[in-house]
Structure 1
Amino acid sequence: MSNKVTKAIFPVAGLGTRFLPATKSVPKEIMTLVDRPLVQYAIDEARAAGIKEFIFVTSRGKGALEDYFDHAPSLEDELRKKGKDDLLEVLKSTYMDSGEIAYIRQHKALGLGHAVWCARRLIGDEPFAVILPDDVIAAETPCLQQMVEAYEQTGGNMVAAMEVPQDKTSSYGILDVAEDMGQLVQVKGMVEKPKAADAPSNLAVIGRYILSPAVLENLNDMQTGAGGEIQLTDAIAKEIGGSGGVYGLRFRGQRFDCGSKAGFLQATVAFGLERPDLGDDLRRFLYEVVSAEKAAE
């Protein structure tokens, strides 16, 4: 078994109901954050971490997502004729080579664990990453790259982790920490969406994972957990105390929950402010809005 992580699973089968009516015809994953779809941020992060094979777990109605990564010869020709070389390069950055990307259908919405299990035959006997495109992370070193670098030292299984307010623990998988080593923690338990009073810590798992193929074997049991769904957290927790163990990495960066409208708007502002071509105008506009609100108080 290779210890190098070259495959990543992107679970994108969700209906995106929180973004209706937009998601009636547009998959949530290709809704644009500034001028790039959510999924492009995830792909770029994966590539930076050395991922070579991209596996999308989709569902009915995701055709536009598949088209996004395809070549567009007529659009290329049009841009070339008009001398728009910069836009042509942007367009080419969205392409995926033949054999680099695969699509698997999840026919029933049975949970994140089930979505990952659907890709088992394409993973085989190798460690793999899981990236949830809803979680967009602004970081100097991309989050998955930080994890891959740490994983090379630890092996086993690794989840990205961040501190959350105690009253928000019921929205996350929460780590029970055996040993806190600073940026890395060794995990002795994982609890999916505990009540604040029952949470073993406030260290939450967010949508980045590096997992051993043993986790896929654990998912074969099809055991349901919180919410009556097949939880990925439960399958990872079975590896605690095993030969590889489970670790949490406190990543360096800011995470935006783009599965929520508020998080999507916050990410749009944050990424817009970082853009050299947009930052000054956006900053000026935000200043004027805040100033007007203060004046009205």
Structure 2
Amino acid sequence: MIRKAIVPMAGLGTRLYPVGVVLPKGLMPFVLADGKLTTGLQLIAETLLRAGIEQIGIVVSPENRPVYEAFLEGGGERYAPARAKRPEMQRIYESLRTLRGHLNFIEQPELLGLGHAVWCARSFACGEPTLVFLGDHIPLPLGDPTPIQQVAQAYETVQCPVYGVHRVPRSKVSAYGILRGELTDAPRLYRLQRLYEKPTPDYAQQHLHTEGLPPDEFFAHSGIYAFPPALWETLDHIATQYDPASGEWTLTHAQQHLLKQMSAYLYEAESHWLDFGQLTNTATHFATLRGAAMYKA
């Protein structure tokens, strides 16, 4: 059973510039349909906990860690008089304190890529099977743990890496890690054959199309990864050879290494996703969380 999840949130948030300069993207605020204010951090962490995860490692930059810590402190004694007069504030404060008990902050001193961010959490993982969940993705319906549970359950069955995927059109493949799969006897479960980080449309068409999908649709990572303990030895091996001058240390590097050692699988969940790191979609995101629309990738 997977008990731990790693959520990388250390990025600069360049897609949210200039707001991301002062506000970590995990603290991006959202107003829910009931009028309550929340953040990406809360939405992701609460969804993971509902899915059965017990401890969550949040990978942050050293500069932003105090900001997250202060947020979860809820203002401490400074806000105590105000909380005493407003029961709703006190309830929010108590929920933040409860949430803090499930969170472990892990610093990523250099922003070298997603693979590096996960490697920074190796002490937190303690060699256990681990879920990785992207720090700017929220499953819909809001807070629905189903896609996380489905990937975790698939992992329990196959005991190999399982990656959540969704479909993207040919025109968008260059923005994603693209994976080619082969349908298995289990519904929505594919055996991974090949993957490539941000391919050109032509390369994807020639090498990464999954049989059974429409000609102009491809599987892309949806932001959920279930890894076996072998991930940690693989990342340690990559760390000994990685040269920052060679480019970004992606998680795809580890996935490719693991694929040489064992089978891996793709799970196509039925859920839609909010990527709140995309500033161009912010209006849609707010409308969705308010219940006014449904976002589709």
What is the TM-score normalised by the length of structure 2?
Answer: 0.82
Q: Which amino acid in structure 1 is aligned with residue 113 of structure 2?
A: G
Q: Residue 67 of structure 2: which of 54, 64, 68 is its match?
A: 64
- State which of 275, 283, 286 in structure 2 corresponds to 1:257: 275
2:26 matched residue in structure 1:
29
Q: Does 1:146 align with 2:146?
A: no
SS at match of 2:282: helix
Question: Is residue 232 of structure 1 aligned with residue 251 of structure 2?
Answer: yes
Q: CA deviation at 1:194?
A: 0.8
Letter in 2 for 1:29: G
Q: Do 1:5 and 1:51's aligned partners in 2 also have CA atoms closer than 8 Å?
A: yes
Give me the whole-angstrom Cα distance separating, in 2, the residues matched to 1:155 and 1:265: 40
- Of 61-70 and 25-34, deviating more is 61-70
Deviations 1:57-79 (A, max 9, x none): 11132121122223544377435
Question: Could you tell me whether the CA contact under 8 Å between 1:192 and 1:233 is conserved in 2?
Answer: yes
Does the aligned pair in 1 maintain the 2:179–2:194 contact within 8 Å?
Answer: yes
Q: Does the 8 Å contact 1:45/1:142 carry over to 2?
A: no
Over residues 86-143 of structure 1, what are the superposed CA-to-partner deviations in whole Å (9 max), with x where a residue is unaligned?
Answer: 4432332222467632222211111100010011122122101111121122134443
Q: Partner of 1:51 in structure 2?
A: 53
Counterpart position of 2:196? 191
CA apart distance, 1:172: 0.7
Task: Give the letter aligned to residue 235 of structure 1.
Answer: A
Letter in 2 for 1:266: T
Report 1:21-170 matches (<5 A).
21-34=18-31, 35-62=37-64, 63-70=66-73, 72-74=75-77, 77-78=80-81, 80-82=83-85, 84-96=86-98, 100-139=102-141, 140-170=144-174
* Closer, same or farther: CA 141–7 of 1 in aligned 2, 3 Å: closer
Tell me, in whole angstroms, the C-alpha distance in 2 between the residues paired with 1:43 and 1:64.
17
Q: 1:105 to 1:167 in 2, by over 3 A?
A: same
| Residue from 257, 266, 272 that aligns with 2:290 | 272
Contact 2:48/2:145 (<8 A) preserved: no
Cα offset, 1:264, TM superposition: 2.7
Unpaired runs of 5+ residues, structure 2, are 32-36, 210-217
Output one character per residue of 1:164-223: Cα deviation in whole Å (capped at 9) or x when no partner.
001111111111213354411110211111111111121001221111121222222234
Q: Percent identity?
A: 29
Change (3 A) 1:224 1:230: farther
Q: Structure 2: how far apart are the matches of 1:54 and 1:77? A: 28
- SS at the partner of 1:252? coil
The AA in structure 1 aligned to 2:155 is Y
Give the alignment's Cα RMSD to 1 decimal: 2.4
- Paired letter, 2:270: R
Say how many residue pairs are matched.
269
Task: Extract unaligned runs of 5+ from structure 1.
Answer: 274-278, 283-297
State the alpha-carbon separation in 2 of the partners of residues 24 and 127 from structure 1.
34
Aligned pair in 2 of structure 1 residues 80, 33: CA closer, same or farther (>3 Å)? closer
Structure 1, 14-23 or 119-128: larger mean CA deviation: 14-23
